[in-house]
Chains A and B, each alone.
Chain A
């Protein structure tokens, strides 16, 4: 099952007042997500991601740097290059045109991956708790 990674609603970058300065897909000296090349139906050659694998680092104009993680295990199919040329879509349309990456988990792991995530309801409960606790 294809997965599209996007910024969560509550992400600091999507809160008002934040401007994006730069987006960098070079996450280490040897690894750039931009160099990911897949071929064929089985997506051979794809970089394999674990939950904590960084996809990109985004710097905001107020000096903060945010690392965006994959959060799921699977093959990296593509990263969104449109946000490099047009960072505004990341903030304006984070769930559609401003997506970060497309990941394809292993067929056998599909179910366990989905089960490890929060449903919409569960997420909203988490946000609610955050508001009330702070």
Chain B
């Protein structure tokens, strides 16, 4: 085994005899070769055994000479009552390897590793991989690569720390040092072993920057309380978090381990760590696809359709909504958990959206299907359009999350054009309204309309009407086309809202005016790209 050197010998022996698994031993020897970890661990065990056998006598001599003075020698068998003695001055448990070699090897073959609690043992072997893949297959996701994330119980950090102190002391006695950072990280080694297996079983590569995530949460309830002593030793590291059940989060535990003094640690925690009875358990195996975004433009032809569902006290006031009519079909095709609908502004229930429509985007959360060709999107668009005459969509396409920003930009900055059917109390003639056509960049001061005042803050908005074009109908009616700044309340501009929007059509014509119908003729945002 060319990757292990003389200096590693005491570590291997020490850890093997205290109940640590072969792969963890390799980690503590700072072995960085990924391939090595992938060997079945029975083989690794044999190799380590060989390594120790090869220079038995040499090792013994070394031990006796250097180790003798400072530490007490306590046998493994006396662990139970010897615990206090062991921790009293951080002494090591050293066993003459000649005698106990076989027992030690047997023990580590059967025992669950006292450092990784089985993570680098059974939990990266074939059976577990099969279990994970089964879960993935049954969840029926479409993916071309995956990311595997694993959550380990915090007590592993504590045990790692204890094992490191143990090894550090042993190394110190030989005049060598071992920095905690030099040790191969547990999670990293785990991924080295399990990634290729998952990749093979799932048939796709692992890719860090990808959408599909398989996450596993491990727990080891048997040892959950092992972190608790840290709360008394370093109370300021553990703040009660609002949503989490336990204050012993991984981050908090790691922080505390950095702070705590060696002596204090050894007072409260057995070194080496005790062998556990059982393995870690995978309490959660979940799959998640990151969100996909579908954008387009919608037309609304109904004067009785809200944009979002209108429900008060659990009672639906109006049937359906623009949002539901569009997303219903998308949800079915993409098989997502939920959606978030957003658009570049919105219109009232009784207002139609004509022209080339209003840009919208739907975030589909955790979709099972993510790949759609342009043809398929066209087909989806057709399906939506065939299903309702109240709305129609166009330019339906997949977009990135960043694209949403452009749409929202449009809401604030871009102009809109409208067509309003206006009634006046006193008669009008063509000449009376002609002047409106010449009005450019009319400045309005609009107080928050009374009809929304119950749910909006009171404020005054300055908005601009860029241009107007009138169409005389009869003595009490005319149609007005306007191009306005984003955020202008058109209805209030027509009727004046109790004089709270100034100027208004009524004040301009010196009559009382009201609005009978309103249509959005265009939303001047050039996104999403026209197909």
Say whether A and B bind each other. Answer: yes
Residues of B within 8 A of A40 (CB): 457
- Verify A99–B453 contact, CB threshold 8 A: no
Q: Is the CB of B499 within 8 A of A96?
A: yes
Whether, in the assembled complex, A126 has its beta carbon less than 8 Å from a beta carbon of chain B, the answer is no
How many chain B residues touch A (CB < 8 A): the figure is 13
- B244 in contact (CB, < 8 A): no
A39 interfacial contact with B, CB 8 Å: yes
Task: Provide 24 A-B residue pairs closer than 8 Å at the C-beta atoms, listed in order of the A residue.
Answer: A2-B450, A2-B451, A4-B498, A38-B457, A38-B458, A40-B457, A41-B457, A43-B457, A43-B458, A78-B447, A78-B458, A80-B498, A80-B499, A82-B499, A89-B499, A96-B498, A96-B499, A96-B512, A97-B496, A97-B498, A97-B499, A99-B498, A102-B453, A104-B453
Answer whether residue B455 sits at the interface, using C-beta atoms and an 8 A cutoff. Answer: yes
Q: B131 in the interface, Cβ–Cβ < 8 Å?
A: no
| Distance, CA A78 to CA B457, complexed state (A) | 12
- Most chain B beta-carbon neighbours within 10 Å: one of A4, A97, A104: A97
**A77 and B453 contact, CB distance less than 8 A:** yes
* Chain A hits for B454, CB < 8 A: 1-2, 104
Inter-chain contact A41/B496, CB cutoff 8 Å: no
Q: How many residues in A have their beta carbons less than 8 Å from beta carbons of B?
A: 18
Instruction: Give every chain B residue within 8 A of A39 (Cβ-Cβ).
Output: 457
Asked whether B457 lies within 8 Å of A4 as measured between CB atoms, the reply is no
Cα distance A104–B447 when bound, in Å? 16
Most chain A beta carbons < 10 A, residue from B450, B451, B456, B512 = B450
Considering only residues 37-52 of chain A, those with a C-beta below 8 Å from chain B are: 38-41, 43
Say how far B20's CB is from chain A's closest CB, in angstroms. Answer: 60
**Sorted from nearest, which 8 A-B pairs have the closest CB atoms?**
A97-B499, A2-B453, A2-B454, A40-B457, A38-B458, A99-B498, A2-B450, A41-B457
Interface string of B446-468 (1 = CB under 8 A from A): 01001101111110000000000
CB nearest to A97 among chain B residues: B499
Since A82-B499, A97-B496, A104-B453 are in contact, a sample of 17 more A-B pairs with Cβ atoms closer than 8 Å, ordered by chain A residue number, is: A1-B454, A2-B450, A2-B451, A2-B454, A38-B457, A40-B457, A41-B456, A41-B457, A77-B453, A77-B458, A78-B458, A96-B496, A96-B498, A96-B512, A97-B499, A102-B453, A104-B454
Complex interface residues of chain B between 428 and 453 (CB less than 8 A to chain A): 447, 450-451, 453
